[in-house]
Structure 1
Amino acid sequence: MQVRQVLSADTKLGEGVLWDTARQIVWFVDIKRNRLWHYDPATGSNTHSEAPAQIGWAIPAENGLLLCGLKDGLYTFDPETEVFDKIGPVPGEPATNRLNDACTDPWGRVWFGSMDDSEQNASGKFYVYDQGDIRAAGPSGITITNGPAVNAQGDRIYFTDTTAQKIMVADLTAAGVGEARPFADTGALFPDAYPDGPVVDAEDHVWTGLYLGSQVARFTPDGKLDQTIEMPARDITKMAFGGVDLRTAYVTSAIKNMGAADMAEYPQAGSLFAFDAPVAGFDQARAKL
């Protein structure tokens, strides 16, 4: 499958890529440079806004705003004024943690994870933001959280424990989330790589970036490896489905752990990539504030 570089963004830690259907643009972040990027595939135009702290994710919300997860809590972002307004901190989160990845479910709730910023301590947990209410929901005691990712029907949610090289799944309803159970042991398949941001396609298959793995991988609904796609960067972080027909896969990457020899081998690392996906994604709900 032909993978193309669509934006040379030089992201130190590119993450949180998603498609904004209303604006027909791609949003993604560079966590370590405190940047919120947007890219317009129709024109190629792109720019970034400076966040007041490390920014893990930004999700289209009500009233034309974006809901964002920063190191010190949740914010709204107005794309017209480029102003970040703090909603508040995540209760109980230590100052040494930051927020890392997120998604919405069909009810407009936002599911997100926290993690130790030094990537050493198992202080990370998962939360749900439900129209102003923030509560812990899902696994905890994780060093590097990734996801969550919710399927189109809203009855399954996936949680990634990156350091442990495993993806978990739980049942989801309008009332809440069930107990997480094993979904895929990526360490057995890719012993030298780590599962990063997951996303679900319209056929209920789960895709994940492989950090240190130079690939994205697709898993069947029962957790079996279905296919892999080679990427022109080593540290692949997150994938999202976009474009008019939601069949363009956009992929972020990172360079923060790469030396000069690594960059020589992967000169496009840190870029936003795209390829024509074999299946479509689905339009995710806007966050309800």
Structure 2
Amino acid sequence: MTGEPHSVLDVQATLGEGPVWVKREQALYFVDIKNHRVHRFDPQSGEQRSWTAPCQVGWVLPAEDGTFLAGLQHGLARFDPANGMFAVIATPEASMPGNRLNDATVDADGRVHFGSMDDGEEATTGRLYRLDGGAVQDSGLDPVCITNGPAISPDGRTLYHTDTLGRVIHAVPLNEDGSCGEPRVFATVDAADGWPDGSVCDAEGHVWIGLWGGWRARRYAPDGRIVGEVRFPCANITKIAFGGADLRTAYATTARKGLDAAELEAQPLAGNLFAFDAGVAGLPGHLARLG
């Protein structure tokens, strides 16, 4: 945790989220949920490309067939950057119009673990699901208002699942078939430090958490101890992703959402994409298997 974060892309996202390193392109993808945008950043050239989603988009993940899986407001969709089209493939919460999909990760078998949330950030209607072989299955975990993370340990045996408003990160055993065991509390976040947002694991099995309203990202040891922090010049840090040829560059998405005019003036870099030297390598990403 040696590097100081610096802004590498001035996008001023309302709600930047879901950064993911795409090895086949050596590029970083991320989204601006509230502005319905998917962004691609090439760190070698500095070039940016963007696409407009049909509604709020929580994340995009590279898939085995060369396209992407997108978590749209009301369902999963195949996203093809070649033509900018989104084709819905599943609507797990069709009867819950107040919910939207929020965050996701892929395990070593190509299963996609993804969560939902109440878009009004009040009702306890957010659940964790997995897409396995083309079918969506409920994790069976208790619902929360805002699901976040999730992240998977290097050995694939633990899923870290965040209850953002509860300020709790749970460690959940993952069975061989991708189903979840009994969760335990991995870490809690004090009110003065903000809310735990997205998470990701590094190659040493430590968990990185972006802190909304906390001006920082934290690194937690596998036993839940805080072992480091990276401070940012803006308050809302949403999620970290590891990229670059050696996976040692950490990228961070941030957000302008909820900041008033005075706060935005004091945080001119809010909503931008940041990068810093993580001092440790991340994990190679897995490709989503769409069925």
| 2:118 aligns with one of 116, 119, 130 | 116
- Quote the Cα distance in structure 2 between the aligned partners of 1:49 and 1:138: 34
Q: CA deviation at 1:138?
A: 4.9
Q: Which amino acid aligns with 1:177?
A: C
| 1:178 aligns with one of 173, 177, 181 | 181
- Quote the Cα distance in structure 2 between the aligned partners of 1:57 and 1:89: 15
- Quote the Cα distance in structure 2 between the aligned partners of 1:141 and 1:191: 25
Q: CA deviation at 1:91?
A: 4.4
- Quote the Cα distance in structure 2 between the aligned partners of 1:92 and 1:160: 23
Q: TM-score, normalised by structure 2?
A: 0.96
Provide runs of 4+ in structure 1 moved above 6 Å: none
Decide which moves more: 130-139 or 207-216: 130-139
- Quote the Cα distance in structure 2 between the aligned partners of 1:177 and 1:93: 24
Give the aligned partner of residue 22 of structure 2.
Answer: 20
Indicate the percent of aligned positions where both proteins have the same amino acid.
Answer: 44
Gaps of 5+ in 2: none
Give the aligned partner of residue 56 of structure 2.
Answer: 54
Give the aligned partner of residue 285 of structure 2.
Answer: 284
- Quote the Cα distance in structure 1 between the aligned partners of 2:96 and 2:55: 15
Count of aligned pairs: 287
CA distance 1:191–1:203, change in 2 (3 Å): same
Q: How does 1:83-98 map to 2 (within 5 A)?
A: 83-91=85-93, 94-98=96-100
Q: How does 1:41-190 map to 2 (within 5 A)?
A: 41-91=43-93, 94-175=96-177, 176-187=179-190
Q: CA deviation at 1:117?
A: 0.4
Give the aligned partner of residue 41 of structure 2.
Answer: 39
Q: TM-score, normalised by structure 1?
A: 0.97
Q: How does 1:244-263 map to 2 (within 5 A)?
A: 244-263=245-264
Tell me if structure 1 keeps the 8 A contact 2:4–2:230.
no
Tell me if structure 1 keeps the 8 A contact 2:200–2:207.
yes
Q: CA deviation at 1:92?
A: 5.6
Q: Which amino acid aligns with 1:145?
A: T
Give the aligned partner of residue 214 of structure 2.
Answer: 213
Tell me if structure 2 keeps the 8 A contact 1:123–1:140.
no
**Helix, strand or coil at the partner of 2:282:** coil
Give the aligned partner of residue 5 of structure 1.
Answer: 7
Q: CA deviation at 1:173?
A: 2.7
Q: Which amino acid aligns with 2:5?
A: V
Q: Deviations over 1:48-78 (max 9, x none)?
A: 1000110001000021100011011000011
Gaps of 5+ in 1: none
Tell me if structure 1 keeps the 8 A contact 2:93–2:99.
no
- Quote the Cα distance in structure 1 between the aligned partners of 2:95 and 2:103: 15
RMSD: 1.1
Identify, as 1 or 2, the structure richer in strand.
1
